[in-house]
Amino acid sequence: MIFVNLPVANLSASVTFYEALGFKNNPQFSDDTAACMVWSETIHAMLLTHEKWRTFTTRPIPATDSSEVMLALSCDSQEDVDKMNTAAASYGGTADINPKQELGFMYGRAIADLDGHIWELFWMDASQAQQS
């Protein structure tokens, strides 16, 4: 399992944003300082208030216009990639922060959440990728 920990300025707005993308909130690991957002049985995003984040590290929280990591998230179809991209823009995030990728065997679009965390949403046909 992977738990990606992300500092967020507004926890409730971030929960709404991630739910719009298709994540589900796990209330067992959520409170007024953190929300566990489940993508799959193995992928979870822990949204942490800045105060909660600071209990884990003293390193500074990056500015929303900088990048420390880009998280790639596999989708079931190109349509799912497009839906998440649209949802990101509709719920306060930034859609298409990088150019759309259309490589035949792979299709991807990148978004930023409310705090500038980058998610690269992609669909890939693995059988075609091996032939390319």
Q: Are 71 and 30 in contact (CB under 8 A)?
A: no
Measured CA to CA, the distance from residue 94 to residue 86 in angstroms comes to 9
Q: Per CATH, is 2-131 categorized as 3.10.180.10? A: yes
pLDDT for residue 126? 81
Per residue in 47-58, pLDDT tens?
999 999 999 999
CA geometry: angle at 1 spanning 83 and 34, to 5°?
Answer: 70
pLDDT averaged over the chain?
Answer: 95
Q: What's the gap between Cα 8 and its chain centre?
A: 12
Whether the pLDDT of residue 120 is over 90: the answer is yes
Proportion of the chain above pLDDT 70, given as a percent: 97
Per residue in 70-86, pLDDT tens?
999 999 999 999 999 99
pLDDT for residue 130? 66
Alpha helices, DSSP H, located in 30-122 = 50-53, 78-90
pLDDT for residue 118? 96
Whether the model pTM is above 0.85: yes
